[in-house]
Amino acid sequence: MKTHRWFTPWILTIPALAWLLVFSVWPSINTLRLSFTDAKPLGGTADFVGVRNYSDMLHDPQVWTALLNSAVYMAVCLPLLTILPLLIAVLVEKKLPFIAFFRTAFYVPVIASAVVVGLMWTWLLDDRGLINNLVRWLHVVQEPVPFLTDRWLVLISAISLTVWKGLGYYMIVYLAALGNVRKDLHEAAAIDGAGPVRRFLTVTVPGVRGTMFLVAVLVSVSALRVFSELFILTGGKGGPGGKDQSLVMLIQQYAGGFYGDLGYASSLSVLLFVVTLIPMIVLARLNNRAEK
Amino acid sequence: MTTTDVRPQVHADKSDGPLKRRPEVSGREKLLRYVLLLFVLVITVGPFLWQLSTSLKGAGEDIYTATPSFIPKQPTLDNYAKVAEAIPVWRYIGNSLLVAALTVGGNILFATAAGYAIARLRFRGRRVVLGLFLGTLVLPGEVTIIAQYVTVRSFGLADTLAGVALPGMVAALNVLLMYNAFRALPQEVDEAAIVDGATVPQRLWRVSLPAVRGTLAVVAIFAFIQAWDDFLWPLIVLTSPEKLTLTVGLQYLSGTFTQDQRLIAAGTMIAFIPIAILFSALQRYFFKGVEEGGVKG
């Protein structure tokens, strides 16, 4: 039976397809091409410069610092954002009165702009802000903790912000997966006398293992892509001596202005892509091994 | 590859399984759960309330004291008025709304059309098209942002709001979400409509679309939030001060001449409150859409 004319699906698909080709596929190819040129933000001709951008990159201390920051960022975010949201999901899974309110409230940091939460945390972490007041009130330290001016503390502050903002998002991902964990296994374990902790480790965790790997991949990739948190917390300067920059911050810096360099920014983009592949490949392998 | 496999059933049927229902939560466990819930609530929502409180404190109240009070002593909206004096906040809101409207409209229209065609119509090249949409998901947006800027610039759209909105008007992920939702509908409804002689637009409009409203709501909500919250892309595209979107413009509250935390707090609340209202009004659809077939953010 003829259900439609041959061109109907194409009429429906072509706008989306055109967008995909113009704004995703072509930019991917063009990123690679641009990385071998000296293209400038203000236009003009771009000349082929061979691998110069890449060799510059290898000798650029800022790039190495950014890679170090990314590694630290990922190493801290990965365990925290893989485990904490699962615990919260278990907490909001049970249907108690007001549970819908709690679920929605926990999701609020996700929907707020990174700029909004960045400015919010800048105030909280200020020398005279709430957190420093609290720390002094507890008599932990005498002087204010330089959360926003110390090279490593800035990074830790940005990581806390990322973790805080990510809790609700991954909670929802886990909540979806928890629905598929078999209830009878929980009950059987409870009858066998297993406590909540034991049941969590022997029933819940194996039941959502696949999702945990998915979350781990999403967390690592987004840790490597960090931009707004570091940008806002450091007022766009990248911390003391520009030491708290991420790869994306470097890309943004070279993207505009008189001193911009789109060729160099593109080679940094290629580096970013390669770096994000690493956790994907490693975690996919681990997942395969765990399934055997 | 990373995003499509989340197929939640948040409220899966509780009655399956051969054993009898689990006993009700004991009183002690309930208390413990609420204590923990409140603890997480303070951590997640507390900072927003603190910011709101700061934004309502008058110039006479010392916000830098070691013992600040949570409730403003003389609540005032002065700071909100001062934001409009420091930056053209109304213009920025208008700019952000324009970008968000274009993004929502584009995604609703084009992602629905493409998702429907790939899910419900057979045609040559269907798998290739689907593969293309899936393939771009592995690529973080930041990787292509420079080349995307070059493309937008070559259209003569650098430093325009159209240039900010254009690339986001069709997101591959939204096409896939709509595809998933349409694919989950039973084949029989289409067949019945075909026998009745319904054309493709009629089948899409009358039969399939009403069944995927939840997913459509998720696509719309997130297209709006994504456009309203976005920072890096407008920061790269826009240079003229009067064309900035709200998120980019807000920086000027903290950067330049003022460093009044009350003012910054008021500015952030202006950017946050519309999103908060939108989300709380539509959260029912959101959680329903999450159940229907996909999570994104």
Q: What confidence tier does B12 reach under pLDDT thresholds 50, 70, 90?
A: very low
Cβ atoms of B4 and B137 within 8 Å: the answer is: yes
B184 vs B204: CA distance, rounded Å: 14
Is residue A38 a part of any domain in this protein? no
A119 vs A29: CA distance, rounded Å: 36
Angle at A83 between CA A80 and CA A85, to 5 degrees: 95
What is the per-residue DSSP string for A199-229? HIIIIIHHHTHHHHHHHHHHHHHHHHT--HH
Q: Which of B29, B38, B143 would best serve as a mutation to test chain A binding (most A beta carbons within 10 A)?
A: B143
Cβ atoms of B247 and B48 within 8 Å: the answer is: no
Cβ atoms of A225 and B140 within 8 Å: the answer is: yes
With beta carbons under 8 A apart, name residues in chain B contacting A25: 132, 136
> Least CB-CB distance to B146: which of A12, A180, A269?
A269
Contact assignment for A262 to B146 by CB distance below 8 Å: yes
| CATH code linked to domain B83-293 | 1.10.3720.10
At B195 the pLDDT is 86
Contact assignment for A16 to B175 by CB distance below 8 Å: yes
pLDDT(B5) > 80: no
Q: Which of A61-75, A143-157, B100-114, B250-264 has the lowest mean pLDDT?
A: B250-264
Please name the residues between 148 and 177 in chain B that touch chain A, using a CB distance below 8 Å.
148-151, 153, 166-167, 169-170, 172, 175
**B81–A contact, CB cutoff 8 A:** no
Residue of B nearest to A99 (CA): B37
What is the per-residue DSSP string for chain B? --STT----TT--TT-SSSPPPPPPPHHHHHHHHHHHHHHHHHHHHHHHHHHHHHT--TTS-SSSSS--SS-SS--SHHHHHHHHHS-HHHHHHHHHHHHHHHHHHIIIIIHHHHHHHHH---TTHHHHHHHHHHGGGS-GGGGHHHHHHHHHHTT-TTSHHHHHGGGGS-HHHHHHHHHHHHTS-HHHHHHHHHTT--HHHIIIIIIGGGGHHHHHHHHHHHHHHHHH--HHHHHH--SGGG--HHHHHHHHHHSS---HHHHHHHHHHHHHHHHHHHHHHHHHHHHHHHHH----
At B292 the pLDDT is 55
Q: What confidence tier does B213 reach under pLDDT thresholds 50, 70, 90?
A: confident
A216 vs A170: CA distance, rounded Å: 10
At B138 the pLDDT is 82
Cβ atoms of B292 and B5 within 8 Å: the answer is: no
> Least CB-CB distance to B40: which of A88, A94, A175?
A88
Question: Residue A187 corresponds to which amino acid?
Answer: E
| Per-residue CA distances from A146 to A140, A154, A200 (Å) | 14, 8, 39
At B258 the pLDDT is 57
> Least CB-CB distance to B44: which of A105, A176, A227?
A105
Is residue A25 a part of any domain in this protein? no
Size of interface A-B (CB pairs under 8 A): 301
With beta carbons under 8 A apart, name residues in chain B contacting A272: 140, 142-143
pLDDT(B22) > 80: no
With beta carbons under 8 A apart, name residues in chain B contacting A195: none
A246 vs A262: CA distance, rounded Å: 17
Sequence spans of domains, chain B = 27-75, 83-293
Q: What confidence tier does A63 reach under pLDDT thresholds 50, 70, 90?
A: very high
Contact assignment for A27 to B144 by CB distance below 8 Å: yes
Contact assignment for B113 to A176 by CB distance below 8 Å: no
In 10 A of CB B160, how many CB atoms?
Answer: 16
Residues in Cβ contact with A139 at an 8 Å cutoff, skipping those fewer than 6 apart: none
pLDDT(B11) > 60: no
Return the DSSP state at A144: P
A162 vs A165: CA distance, rounded Å: 5
Please name the residues between 213 and 242 in chain B that touch chain A, using a CB distance below 8 Å.
225, 228-232, 235-236, 239
Is residue A67 a part of any domain in this protein? yes
Number of folded domains that form chain A: 1
Cβ atoms of A34 and B154 within 8 Å: the answer is: no
**B33–A contact, CB cutoff 8 A:** yes
pLDDT(B8) > 50: no
Is residue A215 a part of any domain in this protein? yes
> Least CB-CB distance to B8: which of A4, A114, A177?
A177
At B14 the pLDDT is 40
B20 vs A264: CA distance, rounded Å: 65
* Domain around A126: 52-291
| Per-residue CA distances from B133 to B144, B204, B213, B224 (Å) | 16, 21, 22, 21
pLDDT(A187) > 90: no
What interhelical angle do A99-111 and B27-55 show, nearest 10? 40
Please name the residues between 238 and 297 in chain B that touch chain A, using a CB distance below 8 Å.
239, 247-248, 250-251, 253-255, 261, 264-265, 267-268, 271-272, 275-276, 279-280, 283, 287, 290-291, 295, 297
Q: What confidence tier does B257 reach under pLDDT thresholds 50, 70, 90?
A: low
Nearest to A96 by CA among B12, B290, B284, B37: B37
Is residue A24 a part of any domain in this protein? no
For the ranges A160-164, B60-64, B237-241, the maximum mean pLDDT occurs at: A160-164
* Mean pLDDT of the region B65-94: 88
Mean of the per-residue pLDDT values of chain B: 85
> Least CB-CB distance to B113: which of A15, A20, A228?
A15
> For residue B191, what are its two tokens?
């067949």
Query: Terminal CA-to-CA distance of chain B, rounded, Å?
Result: 15
Paired residues of A37 in beta bridges: A48
With beta carbons under 8 A apart, name residues in chain B contacting A262: 146, 149-150
* Mean pLDDT of the region B146-174: 94
Mean of the per-residue pLDDT values of chain A: 91
B121 vs A219: CA distance, rounded Å: 36
| Per-residue CA distances from B87 to A122, A236, B69, B234 (Å) | 20, 19, 28, 17
At A186 the pLDDT is 82
Query: Terminal CA-to-CA distance of chain A, rounded, Å?
Result: 46
> Least CB-CB distance to B133: which of A20, A137, A248?
A20
Q: Phi/psi of residue A37, each to 5°?
A: -125, 180
Q: What confidence tier does A102 reach under pLDDT thresholds 50, 70, 90?
A: very high
Is residue A3 a part of any domain in this protein? no
* Mean pLDDT of the region B3-15: 38
B195 vs B190: CA distance, rounded Å: 9
A220 vs A201: CA distance, rounded Å: 23
B128 vs B135: CA distance, rounded Å: 10
The whole-angstrom distance between A30's CA and the closest CA on chain B is 6
Q: What confidence tier does B252 reach under pLDDT thresholds 50, 70, 90?
A: confident
Angle at B47 between CA B42 and CA B50, to 5 degrees: 105
pLDDT(B71) > 90: no
Exposure string over B253-291, b if 16+ CB within 10 A, otherwise e: bbeeeeebbbbbbbbbbbbbebbeebbeebbebbbbbbb
The enclosing domain of A257 has a CATH number of: 1.10.3720.10
A28 vs A238: CA distance, rounded Å: 27
With beta carbons under 8 A apart, name residues in chain B contacting A39: 150
Is residue A85 a part of any domain in this protein? yes
Q: Which of A34, A36, A115, A268 would best serve as a mutation to test chain B binding (most B beta carbons within 10 A)?
A: A115
Is residue A238 a part of any domain in this protein? yes
**ipTM value for the complex:** 0.91
B56 against B258, higher pLDDT: B56
At B9 the pLDDT is 36
